[in-house]
Chain A
Amino acid sequence: MSTTASEAAPAGTSTGRAAAMAVELVGVDKSFGPVHANRQVDMAIEAGTIHGIVGENGAGKSTLMKILYGFYQADSGEIRVKGAPVRIRDPRDAIAAGIGMVHQHFMLVDTFTVLENLILGAEDQFWVRRSLDQARDELIAIERDYGLEVPPDALVAELPVGLQQRVEILKILFRGAETIILDEPTAVLTPQETDELFKILRRLKAEGKTVVLITHKLQEIMAVTDAVTVMRDGAVVGRVDTAKTSREQLAEMMVGRKVLLRVEKTPAKPGAPVLSVEGLTVTDEAHQPKVLDLSLEVRAGEILGIAGVSGNGQTELIEALVGLRGFTDGEVKLKGQSILSGYQSSDPRELRHLGLGHVPEDRLRMGVVVGFDASETAILGYHDDPAYNGRLLSDRAKVVAHCEELMQAFDVRPADPLLRTGSFSGGNQQKLVLAREIQRDPALLLVGQPTRGVDIGAIEFIHRRLIEMRDAGKAILLVSAELEEILALADRIVVMHEGRIVGEMPTAEADRRKIGLLMAGITEDAA
């Protein structure tokens, strides 16, 4: 196995090495309309290794891998598998070429069992029962070989996320793939589940499979890969052996300049409590408890970060706090005044008037209306404010002027209030949402995933704004799936697991291992 590639050598394929290559991409180019997603990408992945691909959001990693999996056709370029050129027009061709992919969003049918999901597309019998019977023995053999236990007859919807991911890997192995691509596989996992996944990846490598790991988390690259290709702006900027590089070097290659991995900020000066939550219990539509007897406090001038694997009640907590969801027990106070103590969801509008701002975690689902022009999105939630309305009709001039103000203050580009919201980039949409919520100067800001799908320039800008707001004496409650972001921004951290707070600490005393264990629900005495 060749591990002698020179440091930061430009990626490429010399024919002499080709025999040992599982997959090679040569001069792959792809545009979506005016967007140039991949520029002349050359990449070689050695057989029997774990190869990392890193890059910012929008660097073109996912597009490249979707070309490899046959979802898109490259405009030009060539794909070679084991040295021989292949044409991959659809996923069927990719599967036939021995390539499998675990997508960021799992491609499972929730209402099917594990076994049914496994055979979907690979059934060779007319009657399903026969395919299932054949597959069952094979599944058990694969599970044993790779240490990937999953109950074959469980409904996928009832499996935890970690196990669903295993089903995805099993699907690929069942189809006899030699090369396995994983697209941001750790986004939904606890640090412990991530370790578990990495063990599986090493096992796959030991059995002779080739693994391609797409991620933007550098510590994962360092932990598990043999070599790494760095992408930026749709092009490959370099390829290095993992053993000969460092996080700092990779980060610099990724963004093309030195990056601050930490946000600069002064210690917080917490004041009086702004938000007090007492014994809050929230149940979902099926009457399952999602938040259980939860109490917390956010003070003026501090950022409280909620860490946790997504799906542990963070979403329900925030929705209850902003009045989108009723709760069964508990009390919520804003500046000592009880604002919510009800079973019913209340009016989010009233809460806004009381000084509560909310940047929703899923921007496209909640924060903006893509079909509205920017000025209309900029008054969502405040559309009945007398400032924009006459007695009967709304005042367009004022709405547009307001939007112009927001765009200037938050550097939204292009600064055109009449442009469709959907025409703005993700980062600029997010800035517009933040501007809408922050410019009102709320006493309390609830922020979910503030930098999801946002480019690095905007991330720095957004982080600075949140710190500024804190320094101005506002209270901020931050939920993020990125532990790095919580560590960088929060002054105090609480960890949520299965609807409860399982740990709390000042950020200064926090370390990744401890938080990771808490995220998995393992408290210190047990550990």
Chain B
Amino acid sequence: MGETFLLILLLIDATVRVATPLLLAAFAGMVAERSGVVDIGLEGKMLAGAFAAAAVAAVANSAWLGLGAAIVVSMSFALLHAYACVTHNGNQVVSGMAINILVAGLGPTLAVAWFGLNGITPALEGAGRFIGLNLPMSEWLAPIPLIGPVYAEVVSGHNILVYLTIAILPLVALLIYRTRFGLRLRAVGENPHAVDTAGISVAALRYRAMLLCGFLCGIAGAYLSTAHAAGFVRDMTAGKGYLALAAMIFGKWKPVPTVAACLLFAFADALQIRLQGVVLPGIGEIPVQVIQALPYALTVILLAGFVGRAVAPKASGIPYVKDK
């Protein structure tokens, strides 16, 4: 009993760790699509953020400077996406894919040039990394059954970016649903003509949405390379940007269901790490590849099975052109 309980706690703990970048990226995608810009480049922006964070953190030996660099770089790519899609009415999917491929090549290229390492940045240690924090009262609560272990394993012990994310997400939701900016953001994703005739610039709104999107992706990237891992590795996002997009669609472009979908994906991922090498009664050992496939297969099944069609913001993916 005690061991199972601890196992569950560890699983939840792992879920939180895996969910953090997914949540940030999914909210980034949500802000972008709510404004009418489809962003398949979440993957690339995260990867760019991860490289920038790891590179700067390695040189400056400061995880915080790394985080700043990740945000700046990721926001620059978001601006590039906006420039292509909003200013020049480019194809949004093509633009996102271009950024993904560009970054996939740029990271390792610069890693070789700057650090002489093949596709990675130097391993980070000390101040170059965000490490787990032991929250106060951890020891004091430890003897209490239930609360003690839950506090120690699930609530405490994460790095600062996890707590930052938990603080940021409700703020983003508040921004979208309760503020003037949010009202206009939701309007421009549904009917940009209404926004334009009301005397508000459609382009400016979408640019601002993309900046916010880049900001969130930057944090996600920094988390991957300076908190979750200890350095940049080629293609280290491993499809998380696409998974986040799928989670957002599955969450019907709304914050709470999107959080739920991200946690579900993260749980599947945490489970697959736990299940490797485990012998299940009656089935035997599950091939490691089957377990690896879990999150991807789950995405396809959820998208095929449960998503209704007409819930996306109406103007999402369509460049805004004033009609004649």
Contacts and interface: CB of A to CB of B under 8 A. Distances in A.
Direct contact of A and B (CB under 8 A): yes
A215 interface: no
A171 B197 CA distance: 11
Interface in A313-334: none
Contacts of B184: 120-121
Given A71-B322, A127-B178, A127-B179, A117 B199 contact: no
A121 B200 contact: yes
Nearest to A123: B180
Contacts of A112: 186-187, 190
Interface in A280-327: none
A108 B180 contact: no
Interface string A23-38: 0000000001000000
Interface string B139-183: 000000000000000000000000000000000000000111011
Given A109-B191, A110-B191, A123-B183, A101 B178 contact: no
Contacts of B234: none
Interface in B265-280: none
B179 A128 contact: yes
A109 B197 contact: no
A262 to B, nearest CB: 32
B127 interface: no
B178 A128 contact: yes
Contact of A107 (B178, B182, B197): B197
A111 B190 contact: yes
A121 B199 contact: yes
A120 B198 contact: yes
Interface in B188-207: 190-191, 193-201
A90 B199 contact: yes
Contacts of A171: 198
A91 B197 CA distance: 6
B197 A125 contact: no
Given A95-B199, A109-B187, A117 B194 contact: yes
B88 interface: no
A345 to B, nearest CB: 17
Interface in A64-98: 69, 71, 90-92, 94-95
A90 B196 CA distance: 9
B183 A103 contact: no
B178 A122 contact: no
Interface in B55-77: none
Contacts of A120: 183-184, 187, 194-195, 198, 200
Contacts of A63: 324
A276 to B, nearest CB: 35
Interface string A105-133: 10111111000110111110111110100
A135 B195 CA distance: 18
Contacts of B186: 109, 111-112
Nearest to A90: B199
Contacts of A119: 183
Nearest to B182: A128
B91 to A, nearest CB: 15
Contact of A121 (B178, B190, B195, B314): B195
Interface of B is mostly: helix
Nearest to B180: A123
A101 B197 contact: yes
A209 B190 CA distance: 31
B197 to A, nearest CB: 4
A207 to B, nearest CB: 23
A108 B179 contact: no
Interface string B190-230: 11011111111100000000000000000000000000000
A109 B201 CA distance: 16
A107 B194 contact: yes
B191 to A, nearest CB: 5
Given A109-B191, A120-B187, A91 B180 contact: no
Contacts of A109: 186-187, 190-191, 194
B315 to A, nearest CB: 10
Contacts of B196: 71, 91, 107
A128 B183 contact: yes
A111 B193 CA distance: 14
A90 B198 CA distance: 10
A123 B201 CA distance: 15
A92 B179 CA distance: 21
B266 to A, nearest CB: 30
A91 B324 contact: no
A122 B182 CA distance: 14
A32 B198 contact: no
Nearest to B193: A107
Contacts of B200: 92, 120-121
Interface in B309-324: 314, 322, 324
Q: Which of B187, B195, B196, B198 has the most CB of A within 10 A?
A: B198
A182 to B, nearest CB: 13
A468 to B, nearest CB: 33
Contacts of A69: 197
A108 B314 CA distance: 13
Contacts of B322: 71
Contact of B180 (A103, A110, A111, A128): A128
Q: Which of B187, B196, B199 has the most CB of A within 10 A?
A: B199
A127 B175 CA distance: 9
Interface string A495-526: 00000000000000000000000000000000
Interface in A111-160: 111-112, 116-117, 119-123, 125-129, 131
A108 B178 contact: no
Contacts of A127: 178-180
Contacts of B187: 109, 112, 120
Contacts of A117: 194
Nearest to B201: A90
Nearest to B314: A110
Nearest to A69: B197
A101 B199 CA distance: 12
Given A109-B194, A111-B186, 7 more contacts: A108-B194, A109-B190, A110-B190, A111-B190, A120-B187, A127-B179, A128-B179
18 contacts: A71-B196, A90-B199, A92-B200, A94-B199, A95-B199, A103-B197, A111-B190, A112-B186, A119-B183, A120-B184, A120-B195, A120-B200, A121-B198, A123-B183, A126-B179, A126-B180, A127-B180, A128-B178
Q: Which 3 A-B pairs have the closest CB atoms?
A: A121-B198, A92-B199, A107-B194
